[in-house]
Structure 1
Amino acid sequence: MKKIPQVSIIIVNYNGKHFLKECLSSVFNIDFPKSQYEIIMVDNDSKDDSVDYVLKNFSEVKVVQSISNLGFAEGCNLGVKNALGNFVVFLNTDTKVERNWLKALVKSIKSDKGIGAVNSKLLLYNPFFELLIHSDIFMRSDFSDSVNFQSVGVLVESVIIDDDNLQPLVRYEKGFYENEYGIIPVRWTKGDASILIPVDPRKNTIGMTVTIRSGKSISGLETQIALKLGEKDLIVDKLKSYEVKQYKISLETKELRKYLLYAVQNSGVVVFKNGYGRDRGAVVRGTTQFYEIDNPFFSQKAEIHAFTGASVIIRKEIFEKLGGFDDKYFMYYEDVDLGLRMQRQGYKIVYEPESVVYHIHSGSSKEWSRFFTYHVEKNHLATLVKHFPVNTILTGFTRYIGMLIISSLKMIKWRASEHWELYDQWREKVEIRISVLMWIFQHFIYFAIKRMQINMSQKKSMAEIIKKLY
């Protein structure tokens, strides 16, 4: 007689065939008794032969097919309906897990009956290595007629990675001044600077071209420079006054292994008092978001506000008791909503650093695409209505309507001046925001009823939870 598995791993797939080989291979390679877990793939009516691929290559996987795209939330719920385990694990397709991934999750959730969910440590799939730039240091006034005692080194014009997919991940990490814009945007170094270069761990080599320029010196100064990997010199050269050089560098991936740095894409979800959620690990500066490099802070277990559905273990009994994910969300914020409902029932949510996953992130839906923006914005407002105080709801809706008005005015402005590219950008924002408000008003009664039901059954008030939010 076949044993009933302890854990059901649920993977919701939509046209993710290109991710499935690496994802499923890594799951089948985990250090956990095979009789103690099952893998369920819920296919959301994919058109890329995902189902045939899995049936042919991973016959042990239980495939549940939907006749339409249910979205992540309802897809997960369908997976749970077909799950035999006492614990359910939700895992994204665009991931690769380490061997200890599941063992650490199970150990953590079993350690305390008050824990409802445990979140893995998700690292960005592509690691980085640090390219160091060292040069002589001069005063800024050495390159101009003005008096400026700012210490500068060289001007970095560009770093171009041979792999176009990795180019957006290049990070000017430290030792740089702000961009200087002209015909070619440049960044002055402060003498010693570092750039984080992304690596595809599946490839044998990485190639790049670094373009560096020296300052235009009145006295004809020469600048000694070195590009380094750790203590190893990759390039050593001397630039004449106002000289531009391109340096082509090719490195073997195996040579880089001891230098690789991983960024933490998620170690749980931080929820703010205005209802917004953010990956614990994400850093926002202005309009730019990037992820912190792994450090001792992320090696500590912690109680967190909410979990990510990309890799989490949940007690099946609790999941079913709470009604699972709210399928009105389709995808995004469904994990924040369930996390808040879980906390309001008195359960804890924990981050487990020993459970490690490599995550491509936004592999199945592009971040800040029209689709992404629409669902994130509507689901944020839905979460406000379900959980947050009336004054926070009013503030949130007033702000959103204000954003719509500003977007409309900018759209009109660029239409009048016939600046069609900017007009199209702002028209799309207007269309998305109108669609969001229409959707939320259509479903307002549904969410108001859910709010009342949650309030009536809660064991911990939202006011108590808000005290812990940022």
Structure 2
Amino acid sequence: MSALPKVAVVILNWNGKSFLQQFLPSVCASTYGNLSIVLADNASSDDSVAFVQENYPGIEIVRNPDNNGFAGGYNQALQHVHADYYVLLNQDVEVEAGWIEPVIEMMQKDPRIAACQPKMRAFADKESFEYAGAAGGWMDILGYTFCRGRILYTIEKDLGQYDDPQYIFWATGAALFIRPGIFHKLGGFDPYFFAHMEEVDLCWRIQRLGYKVAYCPGSTVYHVGGGSLPQGNPRKLYLNFRNNLVMLKKNLHPKEQWIVLSQRHFLDLLAAVKSLVSGKPKDMIAVFKAYRDYYRWRRLSKDLPADTLPEKKLFALDGVFHGIMIWRYYFLRRKKFSLLEGNKVVYKPS
């Protein structure tokens, strides 16, 4: 056991007793030999903490005084967790017994990998990939995120087509393996994000720092998804639009910002109009609120310390599709990752 790196699986919980009842047994059945399990509670008002204390006395509990979302919640809790690797695991994830070993082996062999994700399948349809991660996260040149195995709302069956390890742009926050030293060096997640896109922003900063983000197909987990905010919720839409804009402004090379953001503003306006025409005025309002708060953030961010990370152009990063994903999806009808062109990132461990 002493030869194995210490791994801490940290589950962020907010009023998630039903999920903990359902999925903690699989986590506790993990076969990794040097493992601790931590429940990071985000000021829950249900009796989920009492449930864990009574039924799983071996699980360490860290209590956050307030609910600061996914980003702030993990930032607070991980100050109290000490390990060689963190695994940030959603409360609505079922794992296989040997899910940890392949990822740790991959990261041990390649010290450039700062973050890694397993294969993400849907709990409700275990033969299909899951929306929030699938077989690794990518981004196109306009900042639209998608996955190997999931583009927009088109989700593929897992037929082994993405069983090769790859460097990727972003790893899912639902089952994120990450080196603590890198996490803390980068200041963790951006707390302004609260929830959604914070893991993409973190992985972008990891690449700017000179490290890699990877996908490990030898490990599989099953995610319910939408446990806090389901798809189609205007609040979720608001956070996705706002946080995506903030992420682009923060991380794009200065020479890329104007061309990318101007195109995104135009396309987001079209998306808002489409929502109105489709009879979804709340979605249109969510987009406009996202832009309102994005510009507020820009004004306030002028008083924040300057970003000292190296500036890198998108084309220099792993997991970037050198094209416009929505154009290929809607107009060329290429709805599978394998049908996109120029999307190969060769995995070459050191």
Say yes or no: TM over 0.5. yes
Cα drift, residue 81 of structure 1: 0.6
Residue 102 of structure 1 pairs with residue 107 of structure 2: no
Residue 464 of structure 1 pairs with residue 316 of structure 2: yes
Cα drift, residue 327 of structure 1: 0.7
Superimposed CA distance per residue, residues 232-259 of structure 1 (whole angstroms, 9 cap, x where no aligned partner): xxxxxxxxxxxxxxxxxxxxxxxxxxxx
Query: For residues 179 and 99 of structure 2, what CA distance do their matches in structure 1 show?
Result: 17
Cα drift, residue 445 of structure 1: 3.8
Superimposed CA distance per residue, residues 208-237 of structure 1 (whole angstroms, 9 cap, x where no aligned partner): xxxxxxxxxxxxxxxxxxxxxxxxxxxxxx
User: 2:292 matched to which residue of 1?
Assistant: 438
The structure carrying a bigger strand percent of its residues is: 1
Query: For residues 318 and 225 of structure 2, what CA distance do their matches in structure 1 show?
Result: 28
Given that residues 370 and 432 in structure 1 are in contact (C-alpha distance below 8 angstroms), is that contact kept between their aligned partners in structure 2?
yes
Q: 1:318 to 1:117 in 2, by over 3 A?
A: same
Q: Secondary structure at the match of 1:74?
A: helix
Q: Secondary structure at the match of 2:11?
A: strand
User: 1:276 matched to which residue of 2?
Assistant: 144
Using the TM superposition, name which of 4-13 and 56-65 deviates more: 4-13
Identity of aligned residues (%): 28
Superimposed CA distance per residue, residues 177-218 of structure 1 (whole angstroms, 9 cap, x where no aligned partner): xxxxxxxxxxxxxxxxxxxxxxxxxxxxxxxxxxxxxxxxxx
Query: For residues 155 and 144 of structure 2, what CA distance do their matches in structure 1 show?
Result: 18
Superimposed CA distance per residue, residues 312-341 of structure 1 (whole angstroms, 9 cap, x where no aligned partner): 211100111111110111111111111111
AA matched with 1:37: L
Query: For residues 282 and 295 of structure 1, what CA distance do their matches in structure 2 show?
Result: 13
Query: For residues 243 and 66 of structure 2, what CA distance do their matches in structure 1 show?
Result: 21
User: 1:355 matched to which residue of 2?
Assistant: 219
- The aligned runs of 1:363-382 (5 Å cut-off) are 363-382=227-246
Superimposed CA distance per residue, residues 299-319 of structure 1 (whole angstroms, 9 cap, x where no aligned partner): 211111111111121110011
User: 1:161 matched to which residue of 2?
Assistant: none
Cα drift, residue 394 of structure 1: 1.9
User: 1:21 matched to which residue of 2?
Assistant: 21
User: 1:84 matched to which residue of 2?
Assistant: 82
AA matched with 2:87: V
Larger radius of gyration: 1
AA matched with 2:317: I
Superimposed CA distance per residue, residues 252-294 of structure 1 (whole angstroms, 9 cap, x where no aligned partner): xxxxxxxxx610111211111111212321144xxxx232111
Given that residues 5 and 38 in structure 1 are in contact (C-alpha distance below 8 angstroms), is that contact kept between their aligned partners in structure 2?
no
Q: 1:98 to 1:460 in 2, by over 3 A?
A: same
Query: For residues 192 and 261 of structure 2, what CA distance do their matches in structure 1 show?
Result: 19
Using the TM superposition, name which of 319-328 and 364-373 deviates more: 364-373
Query: For residues 68 and 451 of structure 1, what CA distance do their matches in structure 2 show?
Result: 25
Unaligned runs of 5+ in 2: 323-350
Cα drift, residue 364 of structure 1: 2.6
Residue 387 of structure 1 pairs with residue 241 of structure 2: no
Superimposed CA distance per residue, residues 10-56 of structure 1 (whole angstroms, 9 cap, x where no aligned partner): 111112111102322111111111xx221121112222211111111
Unaligned runs of 5+ in 1: 128-260, 412-421
Cα drift, residue 93 of structure 1: 0.6
Cα drift, residue 461 of structure 1: 4.2
Query: For residues 59 and 321 of structure 1, what CA distance do their matches in structure 2 show?
Result: 32
AA matched with 1:17: K
Given that residues 386 and 451 in structure 1 are in contact (C-alpha distance below 8 angstroms), is that contact kept between their aligned partners in structure 2?
no
AA matched with 1:331: A
AA matched with 1:279: C
AA matched with 1:436: A
Q: 1:467 to 1:118 in 2, by over 3 A?
A: closer
User: 1:262 matched to which residue of 2?
Assistant: 127
User: 1:150 matched to which residue of 2?
Assistant: none
Q: Secondary structure at the match of 1:91?
A: strand
Query: For residues 121 and 83 of structure 1, what CA distance do their matches in structure 2 show?
Result: 25
Q: Secondary structure at the match of 1:88?
A: strand
Given that residues 169 and 319 in structure 2 are in contact (C-alpha distance below 8 angstroms), is that contact kept between their aligned partners in structure 1?
no
Given that residues 121 and 129 in structure 2 are in contact (C-alpha distance below 8 angstroms), is that contact kept between their aligned partners in structure 1?
yes
Given that residues 325 and 335 in structure 1 are in contact (C-alpha distance below 8 angstroms), is that contact kept between their aligned partners in structure 2?
yes
- The aligned runs of 1:290-369 (5 Å cut-off) are 290-369=154-233
Q: Secondary structure at the match of 2:9?
A: strand
- The aligned runs of 1:189-228 (5 Å cut-off) are none
Q: 1:124 to 1:451 in 2, by over 3 A?
A: farther
Cα drift, residue 468 of structure 1: 3.7
Query: For residues 28 and 47 of structure 1, what CA distance do their matches in structure 2 show?
Result: 24
Given that residues 119 and 268 in structure 1 are in contact (C-alpha distance below 8 angstroms), is that contact kept between their aligned partners in structure 2?
yes
Q: Secondary structure at the match of 2:142?
A: coil
Given that residues 41 and 64 in structure 2 are in contact (C-alpha distance below 8 angstroms), is that contact kept between their aligned partners in structure 1?
yes
